[in-house]
Amino acid sequence: MPSCVLAYSGGLDTSVILGWLQDQGYEVHAVYVDLGQPCEDREAILNKAKQCGAASARIVDAQEELCRDFAFPVMQWQAKYEQVYLLGTSIARPLISKVCLQVAREVGAEAYAHGATGKGNDQCRFQLAAEALDPNVKIIAPWRDPKFREAFPGRSEMIAYCQQRNIPVKASVAKPYSSDENCLHISYEAGALEDLTVDGLNLVEFGMTVSPQDAPDKVETVRIGFEQGVPVTLNGERKSALEMVRSLNTIGGRNGIGRIDVVENRFVGMKSRGVYEAPGMTVLYEAHRLLEQITLDRDLMHLRDRLAPEVAEMVYYGFWYHAKFDALLAFIRQAQKVVTGEVTLNLYKGNIMVASRTSPNSLYDEGIATMEGGGSYNQTDAEGFLRIQGLPLRVQGRVTPRSW
């Protein structure tokens, strides 16, 4: 009997897919990759998978790895897809594939199944990551299979299937949108959000943040310490990567930090609308950027800034395990070696304001920068500097004069 691993959540879709894969003759090993998504009872999810015929079912907690090895390097790049999206869902998918393939290797499964649709980005992220790690893996994507879509054109058919097979599913009132959550963020899309005239920030019931209008009418101060670009202390206390993100989710969330509403360009070619909240990562991005202002060399920072959109695009598309991305990660590790210090921020009703920044590696020299006299900068030197810089302009101006 052929066998496969299934990235399993215990929801309606993956419950149906678990049964359908067995109908197709597969032995199914269910893998719940714990990335901080909310659910009532993880053990109940495992028991459900076993009751539904899974050959094995397990939970793998990958939250720390997600923050430390995936989210933080992307933050060090200051990478935001199309300038705003912090890539919380995109970052998680290659890790899910890696964990599922590790289980597949352990149980001897030759195939990897997931519940991503044929319209979205996640199918790309799951498959591209899996094929990079195991070029021989067989990918099973039921939503791309016409037979599956014919059998399950809607939720009612899926619920009926579960009832026939005694698969427990909760009857619930569907929200006017879908959501996906991990410890980095929550995304909201589809349903009523597909209408661009709908105010998404008012429609969505946010899970991590209060609205800026409802945030406290007072400033909250936080101090974040970095070592080589990695956030390690919060208000003087040492934190693991996951503890840092969770703590800042709470702090940023209660101050209305990190909500966005964006129409983005999916890898598959269509535009889609997403509403996102990422309070902790939004605070970390800003603290990190402020520390880099005093520790990174100008040309190095500008090079990083030119490459950051490329990094964001690769993460968004699903090319995490790619030779170019390996090189980019090596670049940022080297660039971040001097990004050590502490940043103090004031949070107020959705705003992040810098209070102070310090670093033993600071390149800021008050004696040079001051508008007062003295210091090691000789303003007379600028005369020659500008004559040299202006040389090609003067030559061009003589040869091809401009109308003015």
Q: Which DSSP string corresponds to 252-292?
A: HHHTT--EEEEEEE-TTS-EEEEEEE-HHHHHHHHHHHHHH
Catalytic residue selected from 15, 56, 58, 122: 122
Q: Please indicate whether residue 178 is annotated as part of the active site.
A: yes
* Dist CA 115 CA 291 (whole Å): 40
For residue 240, what are the CA distances in angstroms to 2, 225, 254, 343?
A: 41, 12, 21, 18
What's the mean pLDDT in 89-99? Answer: 98
For residue 111, give the H/E element and its range: strand 111-113
Q: CA-to-CA distance for 91 and 96, rounded, in angstroms? A: 10
Distances (CA, A) of 328 to 19, 230, 300, 303, 306: 41, 17, 13, 12, 12
* Dihedral angle, C-alpha 17, 18, 23, 27, nearest 10 °: 140
What pLDDT score does 154 carry? 87
Positive or negative, the CA dihedral 33, 246, 173, 272 is negative
41 labelled catalytic: no
The mean pLDDT of 264-293, rounded to a whole number, is 97
DSSP 66: I
Q: Which CATH superfamily is domain 3-164 in?
A: HUPs (3.40.50.620)
| Of 353, 351, 175, 349, the residue nearest 275 (C-alpha) | 175
User: Pick the residue with more confidence: 3 or 369?
Assistant: 3
| Amino acid 172: pLDDT | 62
Q: Which of 41, 149, 155, 178 is catalytic?
A: 178
Residue intervals in the chain for CATH 3.40.50.620: 3-164
Residue with tokens 């026939």: 164
**Average of pLDDT values for 208-222?**
98
Please state which of the ranges 45-59, 61-75, 363-377 shows the lowest mean pLDDT. Answer: 363-377
Active site residue 93: yes
* Spatial separation of the C-alpha atoms in residues 327 and 310, rounded to whole Å: 12
Residue type, 131: E
Sequence-ordered list of residues with C-beta below 8 angstroms from that of 90, at least 6 positions apart, any chain:
81, 121, 125, 315, 316, 318
State pLDDT tens for residues 315-347.
999 999 999 999 999 999 999 999 999 999 999
pLDDT of residue 273 exceeding 90: yes
Is 195 tagged catalytic?
A: no
**CB–CB of 228/278 below 8 Å?**
no
Confidence label for 93 from pLDDT (cuts 50, 70 and 90) = very high
CATH 3.90.1260.10 range(s) for the chain read 178-296+339-358
Q: Is the pLDDT of residue 366 over 90?
A: no
- pLDDT, one tens digit per residue, over 97-134 is 999 999 999 999 999 999 999 999 999 999 999 999 99
- Which CATH topology does 178-296+339-358 take? Argininosuccinate synthetase, chain A, domain 2 (3.90.1260)
Within 8 A by CB and 6+ apart from 395, the residues are none
